[in-house]
């Protein structure tokens, strides 16, 4: 039997205060009360003398002052066994796909961080089959890759393509966490995984954008717990997809405002760095298993200097930045090659040839950027021979780095392509050497490999 711990004395949309009757409660305890014939839950967020503030999980419409509040004997928890695979959970660890769990075995979602000794930093290289990613930002097992982009530049499509390509290649289990994104896309992901017979290898948590701030701020913890189960108990190389980690910070800002705490710039909570570290420090690899994560990061108002974006990206091993200016030109994936980076780009990791090619291509891109301005004023005929060569070859490279996606086939009508890194290096080398100087640049758009056709 749950014990009565006090009564509600103030209510607002996301903050309920409870006057304690002497019972003790602590941070993250789950409280409950009876509301409109249903159980309603809160989580303790702040203690102040004989009062506690708690965030309600459901709508508080109709709730009254003076109602008794009880303490439940658990904190927020989620299933911790093989039964998580193929299931869909909400942020609080409840099943939402009409399935059921045979043997309940739950675990607290606020797990511990790994110690320095446990963390493993060496993993094998992991190819994605996406030309522009493998070329500019290759990754390895245990890597944390961020996908940054403003609204509507193609983050979700890229995440889905990665699920499709990496997942089928790696052949291990994975966890998808939907945080504050579209329910429609959530539904589509579920259907697509089912169609591809991948659903039973995957565990899904959804706290989508129609849900309140409490739900959106908890989804990532539930998801992490599932990934940790696969890593620690099953010793697997787990893939963790988080779409979108920015929404976690955003939900925290909403809760922060409801608690009337003083915010920092743009309304973010003062503890933004700590709250991000709480999540990111748990995504790590051990000797036994690894978690390779892809995290979509929304860039508010197309402002990459945004505090939340900066805080999150400081935890990443690599980042792919999607840019509206590239998307405007119809070049997808709309990657900004200058801002895209990976710790793997050095001679030790990818080899001399790859490294030199990346340097050379970036040099071409940089010169192209300057030339564009010159052309806008003088016209294309005024370029020197050498510059004209760079100009035309870079346009070919830009077109070459577009790629038809498996998951966008419905949209583009062009079937997807998985491209081997050796082919990419060969094609890029050939373009740079002028082997294709006579070929029309449009021939490089939305293809797989070019050579050998």
Partner 1 sequence: MGNFVEGLVNAKLRNMKEMKNVYEVGHVTKVKDYILEVTGLENVGFYERVVISNYSVGYVTSIKKNCVMVAVLQRANAIYVGDEVVTTGFDFCGMYSRAAIGHIVDIFGNDRLLNEKFDACRPLPIETDPIPIMERGTVNRPLYTGIAGIDLIYPIGFGQRQLIIGDKKSGKTQIALDTIVNQKDKNVLCIYVAINKTKKNVKELYDNLMKKGAMEYTLIFASFSEDEPPIAYFTPYMALSVAELYMREGQDVLVILDDLKSHANIHREISLLTGKVPGRDAYPPDIFYTHSRMLEKGCQHKDGGSITILPIVETKGGDITDYISTNIISITDGQLVLSRKNFEKGQKPAIDYTLSVSRLGGAVQDKDMKKLGAKVRQRFLSYLETREVYELANTDEMSYDMQMRLKEGRRIEERLAQYKFSPRNKNEIIHMFEEALEGEA
Enzyme catalytic residues: 155, 181-182
For tokens 């070859």, name the residue.
393
Q: Could you count the other beta carbons within 10 Å of the beta carbon of residue 285?
A: 22
Identified binder of partner 1 from the candidate list 7, 106, 182, 449, rule CB under 8 A: 182
Residue closest to 368 by CA, chosen among 349, 393, 335, 351: 393
Task: State how far the alpha carbon of 86 is from the alpha carbons of 32, 173, 175, 207, 291, in Å.
Answer: 30, 10, 10, 17, 19
Shortest approach of partner 1 to residue 48 CB, angstroms?
Answer: 12
63 binds partner 1 (CB under 8 A): yes
413 binds partner 1 (CB under 8 A): yes
Cβ-contact 53, 79 below 8 angstroms:
no
348 binds partner 1 (CB under 8 A): no
Shortest approach of partner 1 to residue 88 CB, angstroms?
Answer: 7
401 binds partner 1 (CB under 8 A): no
Q: Could you count the other beta carbons within 10 Å of the beta carbon of residue 325?
A: 11
Site for partner 1 in 79-108 (CB under 8 A): 88, 96-98
Site for partner 1 in 4-43 (CB under 8 A): 9-13, 17
Residues near 332 by beta carbon (within 8 Å), at least 6 away in sequence: 154, 157, 402, 403, 405, 408
Task: State how far the alpha carbon of 412 is from the alpha carbons of 152, 154, 323, 395, in Å.
Answer: 16, 13, 20, 21
338 binds partner 1 (CB under 8 A): no
Shortest approach of partner 1 to residue 125 CB, angstroms?
Answer: 32
Site for partner 1 in 203-222 (CB under 8 A): 206, 208-213, 216
Instruction: Name the token pair of 411.
Output: 């949209």
442 binds partner 1 (CB under 8 A): yes
336 binds partner 1 (CB under 8 A): no
Nearest CB to partner 1, comparing residues 71 and 398: 398
For tokens 């706290």, name the residue.
207
Residues near 446 by beta carbon (within 8 Å), at least 6 away in sequence: 402, 403, 404, 412, 414
Nearest CB to partner 1, comparing residues 344 and 397: 397
Nearest CB to partner 1, comparing residues 96 and 101: 96
Cβ-contact 348, 281 below 8 angstroms:
no
369 binds partner 1 (CB under 8 A): no
Nearest CB to partner 1, comparing residues 125 and 414: 414
275 binds partner 1 (CB under 8 A): no
Nearest CB to partner 1, comparing residues 5 and 344: 5
415 binds partner 1 (CB under 8 A): no
Length of the chain: 453
Cβ-contact 451, 430 below 8 angstroms:
yes
**Distance, CA of 339 to CA of 368 (rounded, Å):** 16
User: Using CB under 8 A, which of the segments 23-31, 186-194, 231-239, 287-295 binds partner 1?
Assistant: 186-194
Nearest CB to partner 1, comparing residues 92 and 143: 92
Site for partner 1 in 133-162 (CB under 8 A): 150-152, 156-157
Identified binder of partner 1 from the candidate list 46, 120, 263, 341, rule CB under 8 A: 263
Cβ-contact 355, 345 below 8 angstroms:
yes
């Amino acid at each position: 039997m749950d014990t009565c711990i006090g009564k509600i004395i103030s209510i607002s949309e996301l903050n309920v205060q409870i006057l304690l009757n002497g019972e003790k409660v602590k941070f993250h305890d789950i409280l409950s009360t009876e509301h409109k014939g249903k159980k309603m839950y809160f989580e303790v967020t702040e203690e102040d003398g004989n009062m506690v503030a708690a965030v309600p999980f459901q709508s508080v419409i109709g709730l009254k002052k003076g109602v008794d509040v009880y303490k439940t004997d658990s904190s927020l928890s989620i299933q911790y066994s093989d039964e998580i695979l193929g299931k869909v959970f909400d942020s609080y660890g409840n099943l939402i796909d009409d399935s059921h769990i045979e043997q309940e075995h739950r675990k607290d979602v606020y797990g511990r961080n790994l110690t320095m000794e446990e963390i493993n930093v060496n993993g094998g290289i992991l190819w994605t089959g996406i030309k522009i990613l493998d070329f500019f930002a290759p990754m390895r097992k245990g890597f944390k890759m961020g996908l940054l982009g403003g609204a509507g530049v193609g983050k979700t499509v890229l995440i889905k393509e990665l699920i499709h390509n990496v997942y089928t290649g790696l052949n291990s289990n994975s966890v998808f966490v939907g945080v504050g994104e579209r329910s429609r896309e959530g539904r589509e992901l579920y259907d697509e995984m089912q169609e591809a017979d991948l659903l039973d290898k995957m565990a899904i948590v959804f706290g989508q954008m129609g849900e309140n701030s409490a739900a959106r701020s908890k989804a990532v913890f539930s998801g992490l717990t599932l990934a940790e189960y696969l890593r620690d108990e099953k010793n697997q190389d787990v893939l963790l997809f988080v779409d979108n980690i920015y929404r976690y910070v955003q939900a925290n800002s909403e809760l922060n405002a409801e608690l009337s705490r003083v915010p920092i710039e743009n309304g973010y909570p003062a503890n933004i760095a700590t709250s991000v570290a709480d999540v990111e420090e748990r995504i790590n690899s051990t000797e036994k298993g690894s978690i390779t994560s892809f995290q979509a990061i929304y860039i508010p108002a197309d402002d990459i200097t945004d505090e939340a974006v900066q805080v999150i990206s400081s935890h990443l091993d690599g980042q792919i930045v999607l840019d509206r200016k590239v998307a405007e030109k119809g070049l997808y994936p709309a990657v900004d090659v200058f801002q895209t980076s990976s710790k793997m780009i050095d001679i030790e990791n990818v080899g001399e040839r790859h490294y030199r090619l990346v340097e050379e291509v970036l040099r071409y891109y940089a010169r192209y950027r300057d030339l564009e301005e010159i052309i806008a004023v003088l016209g294309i005929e005024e370029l020197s021979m050498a510059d004209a060569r760079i100009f035309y070859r870079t346009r070919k490279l830009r077109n070459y780095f577009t790629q038809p996606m498996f998951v966008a086939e419905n949209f583009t009508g062009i079937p997807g392509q998985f491209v081997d890194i050796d082919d990419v290096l060969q094609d890029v080398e050939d373009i740079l050497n002028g082997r294709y100087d006579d070929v029309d640049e449009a021939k490089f758009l939305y293809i797989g490999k070019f050579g050998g056709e």
